[in-house]
Chain A
Amino acid sequence: MNIRRIGIVGRAALVVAAVGMLASCGSDDGNAAQSSPAGDDITVSEARMAVPATEDGAIYLTITNAGDTDDELVGALSDITSMMHFHRSDIAESGEATMPEDDMHGGGLAVPAGDTVRLEPGARHLMAMRAAPVSVGDRFALTLLFRDAGQVVTEVEVVQVVEPS
């Protein structure tokens, strides 16, 4: 499955598209938080964010696809930010940590059938850009948008420390 590589313009478009989709779902059925039936195959767990030390806050979580078809995470939304990005950190053999430019804002994350995908420190993660202030113990809703499964809502817990995997 290809990771879409989109530039700054495309990145903004992704967020706008996702916002538009959510808004229309909400106005249609009045329940934007409800997962689609196909979403039953996709479960999201262990969603957590450390109290950000910067204006951006990294969100880590685990996605499990119990179904028999591949899916793709294509968007994420939360009230704590109007700008949710996909980021990827990479650590070279030399110990150098970077955020590779080529796909740091890739628009899709493959979630293969029967697989578990972890968004974790030092690897792929979500970044709530300019996140609203949060405190340890806070919980906030995060809506993940999957290509086939549609919306899956999870709750992110704000913690003091996120342990690396």
Chain B
Amino acid sequence: MTAQVTGDDTAHQWSRRTVLRGTTAVGLGAASIGGLLSLSACGPRATEAGEDARALEGALLGNVLAKPTEVLVDTAGEPFDLVADTADRLSLWFFGFSNCPDICPVHLGVLAAALDEVSGPAKAAQVCFIGVDTRRDTPSRLREYLDTFDKDFVGLTGPDEILERAQAALGLPSPTFGEPDAEGNYTVGHASQILAFTKDNQCHVVYPFGTRRQTWLRDLPLLATMSWTGVPAT
């Protein structure tokens, strides 16, 4: 059962159904359980963190992720260090594109609605939307797009090779670009999960597309405060 969640390349093998529909989908449900088991079997860990982790509805990763040591550009055109500028806080990362009309706006909209509703430390969560469609995801376009959801959302982009390195370091699939149609529009394939980096500067849990507001409302306060003590880094 745990064979599916033992390698780096399977760290992100989570479909939205894994989390959202629990074990109703047999195959995916098994993967979810496997992920939880593999995490709880990672040697000694504080009971407190373990219980918090089990309370989360997000998809726990079998392999904890570190932040890539890359510098991007924010929507003000200023350098943004993925390590230093997100340090020691709850920072939620989503790699998408600003012409995305279905996946990104639904995912961002639901998260924004949840952040409006939460109180306490979770309210200060940082949301970083990284535009991977560098031809169209200019800083100003990213700002315009994100303002639809929340003016505090951080928009980031950068040279293709840096974005590719960052995504590869996080085990995310590389973006794919469709053929332009007669009007020059094209589709972009991109990772749809939101990565939650917690105060320990690591990502233990991701939120697949389809995550509902109730899940965020449950998990954001936990993510903002939990220590993950005893959860080994990779």
Give me the interface of A with B, judged by CB distance under 8 Å. Answer: 8, 50-54, 56-58, 87, 89, 91-99, 101, 104, 121-122, 125, 127, 160-165
Inter-chain contact A8/B12, CB cutoff 8 Å: no
14 A-B contacts (beta carbon < 8 Å):
A50-B109, A53-B108, A56-B101, A92-B173, A93-B15, A95-B192, A95-B193, A122-B192, A127-B101, A127-B102, A161-B106, A161-B213, A162-B106, A163-B213
For chain B residues 196-234, which have a beta carbon within 8 Å of chain A?
206, 208-213
CB A127 to nearest CB in B, in angstroms, measures 6
Interface size class of B (residues with CB under 8 A): 35 or more
Inter-chain contact B187/A101, CB cutoff 8 Å: yes
- With contact pairs A94-B13, A98-B187, A122-B210 given, residues A161 and B110 touching in the complex (Cβ less than 8 Å): yes
Chain A residues with CB under 8 Å of B89's CB are: none
- With contact pairs A98-B176, A104-B187 given, residues A54 and B106 touching in the complex (Cβ less than 8 Å): no
The 10 A-B residue pairs whose C-beta atoms are closest, nearest first, are: A53-B148, A97-B192, A98-B189, A121-B106, A96-B173, A161-B109, A164-B210, A99-B187, A56-B101, A97-B103
B113 contacts partner chain A, Cβ-Cβ < 8 Å? yes
Identify whether the interface residues of A are mostly helix, strand, loop, or mixed.
loop
Bound-state Cα–Cα, A162 to B112, Å: 12
Bound-state Cα–Cα, A100 to B209, Å: 17
CB B31 to nearest CB in A, in angstroms, measures 9
| Besides A53-B108, A163-B213, A165-B210, 18 new A-B residue pairs in contact (Cβ under 8 A), listed by A number | A50-B106, A53-B148, A53-B149, A54-B99, A58-B106, A91-B210, A94-B13, A95-B206, A96-B190, A97-B192, A97-B209, A98-B187, A121-B209, A122-B103, A161-B213, A163-B110, A164-B16, A164-B209
- With contact pairs A8-B181, A125-B102 given, residues A97 and B212 touching in the complex (Cβ less than 8 Å): no
- With contact pairs A93-B15, A161-B113 given, residues A53 and B105 touching in the complex (Cβ less than 8 Å): yes
B20 contacts partner chain A, Cβ-Cβ < 8 Å? yes
